[in-house]
Amino acid sequence: MVRKRYENLDNVSTKKTFADFRRWQRERKAKQKNSSYQVPHVNKPEHTLLHMNRSHTLLSWIGHSTFVIQVNGTTIVTDPVWANRLGTVKRLSRPGIPLNDMPDVDIVLISHSHYDHLNFASIRKLKGKPRIFVPMGLGRLFRKKRIENVVECTWWEEKRSNNITLTFVPAQHWTRRSLFDMNTSHWGGWIIQADGKPTFYFAGDSGYFRGFKEIGDRFLIDYALLPIGAYEPEWFMGPQHVTPEEAVQAFVDCKAKTFIPMHYGTFPLADDTPEEALDRLLAEWKRRQLDDERLKLLKLGEILRCD
């Protein structure tokens, strides 16, 4: 059976040739990088808050694109990856909250199928019996793995769960987990809304595109969780990963109140380092004269009170 292949807005392609890949590898060998910087962990973990909380809106960064968000007593996890390795790529920093210290999870949100965003071993070990929301086309893989309670969504589709509205929104990216399944499932981000509570925009993984502005026009966003890493070399990564400067522009486009950076400091997926990503982000923030209070650089395992 022929499977549907998904596309980006305006048919923007992220395809690369073997020659492109070879060029990147040659460039990579010539670079000398200082990779000693590590994203700090919170000094005094407050993990027990996540077990006791029933009324406050809390957010904590586990690492990479994995967050815990608690709204109205509901625990949501985005792109759960607690793995120490992704193939040959070793994790740079331990998860902000150990998997065993996590509370029961009610909802899991998946942005796309890449291994640094979808780790089935981590999903199986989550406590509770979460309802899993995934991009269209990805349910087949979950069923193959015998994981149930999975809901597929198309772009701009809304779902309700535990009195929370979840909207799957566009991103500019691609998917693949094997030689033959490229773009057979979609990709995107998630808007998380609850009456009287802050609205979260979890962007997943994306290159810079006009969709950020459209998302900002449709939703009143309080917290934008945006990627800043895996952008170098820019000629290779550009269509699929924003630079730190483009991430700031995406923040401006989506009109959010607060910017929380992610997708850096956990897995060395490209040639940039966590320190470089942060330095460029802070330089661009200063250049644009944006309010420092609107940028939250979370430590791993830190719990942010969003009420």
188-231 pLDDT tens trace:
999 999 999 999 999 999 999 999 999 999 999 999 999 999 99
pLDDT at 28 (0 to 100)? 84
Three-state SS string across the chain, please? CCCCCCCCHHHCCCCCCHHHHHHHHHHHHHCCCCCCCCCCECCCCCCHHHHHCCCCCEEEEEECCEEEEEECCEEEEECCCCCCEECCEECCCCCCCCHHHCCCCCEEECCCCCCCCCCHHHHHHCCCCCEEEEECCCHHHHHHCCCCCEEEECCCCEEEECCEEEEEECCCCCCCCCCCCCCCCCCCEEEEECCCCCCEEECCCCCCCCHHHHHHHHCCCCEEEEECCCCCCHHHHCCCCCCHHHHHHHHHHHCCCEEEEECCCCCCCCCCCHHHHHHHHHHHHHHCCCCHHHECCCCECCEEECC
pLDDT at 256 (0 to 100)? 98
pLDDT at 277 (0 to 100)? 97
7-64 pLDDT tens trace:
999 999 898 888 988 998 888 888 888 878 899 999 888 889 999 998 999 999 999 9
The topology (CATH level 3) of 40-305 is: Metallo-beta-lactamase; Chain A (3.60.15)
* Predicted confidence (pLDDT) at residue 1 exceeds the cutoff of 80: no
51-97 pLDDT tens trace:
999 899 999 999 999 999 999 999 999 999 999 999 889 999 999 99
* Predicted confidence (pLDDT) at residue 2 exceeds the cutoff of 70: no
151-195 pLDDT tens trace:
999 999 999 999 999 999 999 999 999 988 999 999 999 999 999
98-144 pLDDT tens trace:
999 999 999 999 999 999 999 999 999 999 999 999 999 999 999 99
**Domain residue limits, the chain:** 40-305
* Predicted confidence (pLDDT) at residue 149 exceeds the cutoff of 90: yes
237-295 pLDDT tens trace:
999 999 999 999 999 999 999 999 999 999 999 999 999 999 999 999 999 999 999 99
